[in-house]
């Protein structure tokens, strides 16, 4: 299974999107208010890849910019955002990869100061009481599309983040679904630290 972070990379640079109609702008404003209202959040997540294989774990989020995906026991992967970069640590091969936060679709969630209307739009949701937001760059379809789902009730500004789906240019789909969302909980600074598995010594 491709890890969550790798699944998001093809959809990285999400900028210009079609102009929004007035009703869509209203829903997008609700979403923006929700994201800006999150100080901290924890949730359980299940990530499902294109082949239907699933991994679970725990998500911790603290604004601005800090996020952690800790996978289930036995999965040697960890993803941590420290406000400046997203780091994927693969303990099985002792490898560390880093990307600027701004170059990930997750920046939509962990940088609430961004104006979502510049790169996202609401789309019809098949489920009553939910809002879907699609972010993509129509000039660069190779980056793919990320669709984020929110439900009414349960969180800041009357919404609750439910998860997201990334569709890459090869129609490969990876979905993350959240449950047990808790807002405003205490999250220690230690949550966003990690053990470096690489051999000690000078690095380039």
pLDDT tops 60 at residue 3: no
Query: Average model confidence (pLDDT) for the chain?
Result: 81
Domain for residue 169, yes or no?
A: yes
What pLDDT score does 17 carry?
32
Domain for residue 141, yes or no?
A: yes
What pLDDT score does 200 carry?
81
Domain for residue 118, yes or no?
A: yes
120 strand-pairing partners: 135
Q: How far apart are CA 121 and CA 149, in angstroms?
A: 12
* Share of residues in the chain with pLDDT > 90 (%): 51
Judged by DSSP in three states, 87 sits in strand
pLDDT tops 60 at residue 5: no
From the list 81, 76, 80, the residue with the least C-alpha distance to 95 is 76
Tell me the two tokens of residue 198.
């690489």
From the list 148, 125, 128, 129, the residue with the least C-alpha distance to 14 is 148
Opening angle at CA 121, ends 145 and 174, nearest 5: 25
Domain for residue 43, yes or no?
A: yes
Domain for residue 50, yes or no?
A: yes
**Higher model confidence: residue 177 or residue 136?**
177
Q: Which residues contact 84 (CB under 8 A, 6 or more apart)?
A: 65, 100, 101
Residue 146 — pLDDT band, cuts 50, 70, 90?
confident
Domain for residue 203, yes or no?
A: no
Residue 19 — pLDDT band, cuts 50, 70, 90?
very low
pLDDT tops 90 at residue 201: no
Q: Which residue has the tokens 């400046």?
A: 84
As separate numbers, helices (DSSP H) first and strands (DSSP E) second, the chain gives: 3, 11
Judged by DSSP in three states, 159 sits in strand
* Mean pLDDT calculated for residue range 43-62: 94
Q: Which residues contact 128 (CB under 8 A, 6 or more apart)?
A: none
* DSSP-H helix ranges across 19-88: 22-37
pLDDT in tens, 90-123: 999 999 999 877 666 667 777 777 777 777 889 9
Q: Strand 120-123 to strand 54-62: parallel, antiparallel, or no bridges (unpaired)?
A: unpaired
Domain for residue 140, yes or no?
A: yes
pLDDT in tens, 159-192: 999 999 988 777 788 999 999 999 999 999 999 9
What are the phi and psi torsion angles at 116 (to 5°)? -65, -25
pLDDT tops 90 at residue 152: yes
What pLDDT score does 11 carry?
34
Domain for residue 25, yes or no?
A: yes
What pLDDT score does 80 carry?
94
What's the domain count of the chain? 1
* Mean pLDDT calculated for residue range 114-139: 83
Domain ranges, residue 154: 7-55+104-183
């Amino acid at each position: 299974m491709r890890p969550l972070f790798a699944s998001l990379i093809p959809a990285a640079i999400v900028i210009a999107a079609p102009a929004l109609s007035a009703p869509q702008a209203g829903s997008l404003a609700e979403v923006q208010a929700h994201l800006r209202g999150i100080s901290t959040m924890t949730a359980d997540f299940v990530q499902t890849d294109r082949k239907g294989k699933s991994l679970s774990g725990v998500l911790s989020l603290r604004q601005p910019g800090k996020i952690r995906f800790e996978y289930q026991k036995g999965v040697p992967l960890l993803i941590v955002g420290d406000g400046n970069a997203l780091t994927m640590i693969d303990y099985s091969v002792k490898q560390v990869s880093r990307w600027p936060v701004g170059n990930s679709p997750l920046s939509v969630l962990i940088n609430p100061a961004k104006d979502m209307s510049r790169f996202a739009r609401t789309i019809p949701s098949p489920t009553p009481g939910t809002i879907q937001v699609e972010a993509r760059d129509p000039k660069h379809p190779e980056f793919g599309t990320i669709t984020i789902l929110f439900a009414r009730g349960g969180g800041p500004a009357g919404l609750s983040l439910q998860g997201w789906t990334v569709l890459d240019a090869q129609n490969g789909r990876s979905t993350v679904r959240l449950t047990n969302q808790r807002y405003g909980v205490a999250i220690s600074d230690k949550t966003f630290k990690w053990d470096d598995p690489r051999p000690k010594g000078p690095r380039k």
